[in-house]
Amino acid sequence: MGATGSVVANSASSVEQTEGGDATRNTPKVVELKKLPDAIEEAVYVHEKFPLIIDTTEQAGRFLKYQTGTFISFDDPIQSMKSNLNKSLVGSFQFGRTLTLKFKTLEGMNESIFEPNVFPKEVLCRSKFFTDEVWKSVLPSKTSEDGDDITISSEFVFILCTNTDFVPPALYELMHVIKVVDKLTPSGANSATSGAEEDPMEQIAVMFGAKEVIRNSTQLVEAAFDGDLGEVKNYLDKGYHLESVDGRKHTALSEAACQGHMEVITHLLQIGADPNSTSDTGRSPLWRAAFNGHVEAVKMLLEAGASPEFVDKVSMESAFDVAQNEEVRGILSAWDMNTTVQLMEQRRRVILANLESRIKTSAEREFYARNLIRKELIEKAMSNDIQGIKVILEEVAAECEASSRDGSPAKPRATVEVRNDGGQSLLSIAAQFDFIDLAMFL
């Protein structure tokens, strides 16, 4: 079946959620977000098809945005201009990166999004797009004259992503369909009720190796309680986490607020301390400042986004209830909670921006690290260096094992299945040069 009019068939496909479902029977493979990278690799290198991802939770879209490559929201008329699609396509297949096209829905999808020699419909079919006739046809005219100097990388991946379950039947033939869900029960069914909710962005950070490492220091917390700003800065400079806690889950900011140490409070808030952290009894920095009657601390915490609504888990008393004096109670009663909501939203955006920056940096670093290892393995195979390949694979395995111990996904940066730019695996290279011992080792 070709990537022609059948692509735009309007009959919906059933999406029975069976883990590892057979895409040829209009059933997607269902995975959790953490298994998506493996599912994409399986689509490309086992089924030899580009992946189509059903993303009703929108988690996959967040993950794909940070892939080393280009993420295009097709609903954006600027991003989806044919000239931009062509530029993104050429850059992605030339340098072995991912090109993701995201749709809110595939209903009504038609051939108008494609254009021969610019963004051809054959991009939906991996085997057809990788033919010289097709991929060379999209090269800009001034480049196509020197087309022999340009190759299409076997690492190139084209992804369609949709936020609804609808998939035109023809796309089940052309692409490998994957559905991302929140949770899978042992039987493979989707479950939204098992376990505590995990922040999707934090989960993505873990997948890219960008999870923040927290080095806790009770000494930092004690220094804040003592009002020793110099020591607080000293511990922070040593790499201890701003949100370090003591045995009762009090942070440095909470301890400083409890004692009314304004210099320490000011510094901690300026560098991003959370004004709404709570102890094991539910007491926030504002609650403790109010309890001890520290007027200036109460004002500063409120202006930093501290919520006066937290209550002690035992007494169920709020900061207003425990306020030591009328001045503090007056400040709290007059405070507009809408201001708190706005300040908390501003803080959330800053935290998200910092997290996105960490993920992007980590994604780039990971891409280049994987590519470097891939090239080293290919060079070793070309020179029949079995021992060199062993050393690299052992190092990769050790690194993978270490990362799995600290909670990161146990996914090696390279395996014997890596391929050169022409699509040859190490085993294929060994066969080409008649390296019998290398072939047996692989």
Residue 145: Cβ-neighbour burial (10 angstroms; 0-12, 13-18, 19+) = exposed
- Paired sense of beta strands 176-181 and 69-73, if any: unpaired
Alpha helix positions (H), 260-385: 262-270, 285-291, 295-303, 319-322, 326-334, 337-382
What is the separation of C-alpha 169 from the centre of its chain, rounded to a whole number of angstroms?
A: 29
Residue 212 belongs to a domain = no
Q: Clarify whether residues 137 and 231 are in a common domain.
A: no
Domain boundary among 196, 231, 251: 196
Question: Are the C-beta atoms of residues 166 and 13 closer than 8 Å to each other?
Answer: yes
Residues comprising the chain, all counted: 442
Smallest CA-to-CA distance from 292 within 257, 321, 268, 318 is with: 257
pTM to 2 decimal places: 0.53
Q: With a cut of 70, which residues of the chain have pLDDT below it?
A: 1-25, 142-149, 184-214, 352, 354-366, 403-411, 421-423
Whether 176 maps to a domain, the answer reads yes
Residue 261 tokens, joined? 């140490």
205 is a domain residue:
no
Q: What is the CATH number of the domain that holds 432?
A: 1.25.40
Residue 52 CB-half CA count within 13 A: 29
Question: pLDDT of 35-62, one tens digit each?
Answer: 888 899 889 988 999 999 999 988 888 8
| H/E stretch holding 63 | helix 59-65
326 contact partners, CB below 8 Å, separation of at least 6: none
Establish if 342 belongs to a structural domain. no
The answer to the question of residue 67 being in a domain is yes
| 153 and 22 co-located in one domain | yes
For 181, the domain range is 5-196
Phi and psi based region of residue 71 (left: phi greater than 0; alpha: psi -120 to 50; beta: remaining) = beta
Token readout for 95 is: 């340098």
Asked whether residue 240 falls in the same domain as residue 146, the answer is no
Q: Same structural domain for residues 233 and 106? A: no
Rounded to 5°, the CA angle 189-191-193 comes to 155
User: The domain spanning residue 263 has which CATH number?
Assistant: 1.25.40.20
- Edge to edge, the sheet with strand 176-181 lists 29-32, 176-181, 51-54, 157-162, 98-103, 69-73
What is the β-pairing status of strands 157-162 and 69-73?
unpaired
Q: Amino acid identity of 114?
A: F
Residue with tokens 């309890």: 291
Q: Are residues 397 and 311 in the same domain?
A: no
Q: Note whether 307 and 363 are same-domain residues.
A: no
Give the C-alpha separation, 175 to 43, whole Å.
Answer: 8
Distance between CA 349 and CA 326 in Å, rounded?
35
**Residue at token pair 């098809």:** 49
DSSP string, 111-164: GGG-BTTTB-GGGGSHHHHTSHHHHGGGS-HHHHTTGGG----TT-EEEEEESS
Contact 134, 152 (CB under 8 A): no
29 and 159 belong to one structural domain: yes
Is residue 54 within 8 Å of residue 180, measured between CB atoms?
yes
Q: Contact 60/179 with Cβ under 8 angstroms? A: no
3-state secondary structure of 339: helix
- 75 and 180 in one domain? yes
DSSP state of 83: H
* Assigned domain for 343 exists: no
In this structure, is residue 314 part of a structural domain? yes
Give the per-residue pLDDT at 262.
96
Helix%, strand%, coil% for the chain, nearest 5 = 50, 10, 40
d(CA 360, CA 44): 24
> What is the rounded CA–CA span in Å between residue 372 and residue 90?
22
**Is 261:224 a contact under the CB 8 Å cutoff?**
yes
80 and 184 inside one domain: yes
* In-domain check, residue 294: yes
Same domain, 16 and 72: yes
> Whose structure tokens read 């021969």?
116
Do 245 and 378 lie in a common domain? no
**Which of 335, 370, 397 marks a domain boundary?**
335
Residue 43 and residue 80 in one domain: yes
Domain count, the chain: 3
Q: How far is CA 28 from CA 43, 171, 360, in A?
A: 11, 11, 29
Are 59 and 178 a contacting pair, CB within 8 Å?
A: no
